[in-house]
Amino acid sequence: MYKRVLLKISGEALLGSESFGLDLGELKTIAEEVAQVHELGTQIAVVVGGGNIFRGAGEKQTKIERTTGDYMGMIATVINALAFQNMLEGAGVPTRVQSAIEMSQVAEPYIRRRAIRHLEKGRVVVFSAGTGNPFFTTDTAAALRAMEISAEILMKATKVDGVYSDDPLVNPEAEKFNTLTYEYVLEKRLKVMDSTAIALCMDNNMPIVVFNLKKRGNMIRAVKGEAVGTLVKGEMDR
């Protein structure tokens, strides 16, 4: 069982049945699963996206300048983090939100040593506002924070049960991979995380597990080290 993990949850995962914003029922369910992981004794930090509210660079149909759009996307992640904190505390889990953009009235500033201390004291830490810089995704923020807190694995929660050769929702013939190397992911441009995040994990030998968040119990199974979804790592086992 992993002792410290970094969980990346996209903003889209918080949509649930909604087309925009937060599905509070879905958020509550995810929080309850994180609470179960917490009860195992695993230290868990979370990075949340903001695509359910504003996607930043993805909002190409708007006339908002890229840097401004990215900052708006970062602020959207803070909204999600505060909602997630509320649900976690409702499930009895002590939680702290840290923001890479300083906003002291609602969140602590991101301080690595403080984050680690929270984890050691049994608190869940929710990282928000990405890296605090434009032109970087929350995938890259998740990879960076995983390294900074010395997590044992980066857990990428998605809506499919792993990494495929093509979009399985469009192509039923798409092949699912159980294990992949960083090099293969980058070479084939597989949609695991963005290339900056993958390269960062590769350079620091941070394993990534991609699993289906919608299948209840997958999170705990992944934390226990069971074969769930797709594992991305260095050289393949011989």
154 closest CA partner among 136, 165, 137, 141: 141
**What is the predicted pLDDT for the residue at 59?**
57
Q: How far apart are the first and last CA of the chain?
A: 23
Kindly state the percentage of the chain with pLDDT values over 70: 96
User: Element (H or E) spanning 79, and its range?
Assistant: helix 66-90
Question: Measured between alpha carbons, how far is 119 from 10 in angstroms, rounded to an integer?
Answer: 22
Structure tokens at 129: 């506002």
Q: How far is CA 224 from CA 10, 104, 110, 211, in A?
A: 22, 36, 28, 13
Q: Is there a contact between 179 and 192 (Cβ–Cβ < 8 Å)?
A: no
Which residues are 86's β-sheet partners? Answer: none
| Residue tagged 């830490």 (tokens) | 125
Which residues does 209 contact at the CB level (< 8 Å), separation at least 6?
Answer: 153, 154, 155, 156, 222, 228, 229, 230, 231, 232
pTM for the whole thing? 0.93
- 82-107 tens-digit pLDDT: 999 999 999 999 999 999 999 999 99
Residue 104 phi/psi, 5-degree rounding, is: -60, -20
**167 touches 174 (CB < 8 A):** yes
Give pLDDT, residue 238: 41
Q: What is the CATH number of domain 4-233?
A: 3.40.1160.10
**Domain spans, the chain:** 4-233
pLDDT at 123: 98
Which tens digit of pLDDT belongs to each residue from 57-86?
A: 655 566 899 999 999 999 999 999 999 999
Q: What is the pLDDT of residues 185-230, one digit of tens each?
A: 999 999 889 999 999 999 999 999 999 999 999 999 999 999 999 9
Q: What is the pLDDT of residue 169?
A: 79
Cβ within 8 Å of residue 46, ≥6 positions away: 6, 7, 8, 9, 34, 81, 84, 124, 125, 126, 127
pLDDT per position as a tens digit, 114-136: 999 999 999 999 999 999 999 99
Give the model's pLDDT for residue 43.
98
pLDDT 10s digits, 7-53:
999 999 999 888 899 999 999 999 999 999 999 999 999 999 999 99
Do residues 143 and 200 lie in contact, with contact meaning Cβ atoms separated by under 8 Å?
A: yes
Phi-psi region of 4 (alpha: psi -120 to 50; beta: other; left: phi over 0): beta
| 207-108-16-37 Cα dihedral, nearest 10 degrees | 50
CA atoms within 13 A on the CB side of 143: 22
pLDDT of residue 58: 58
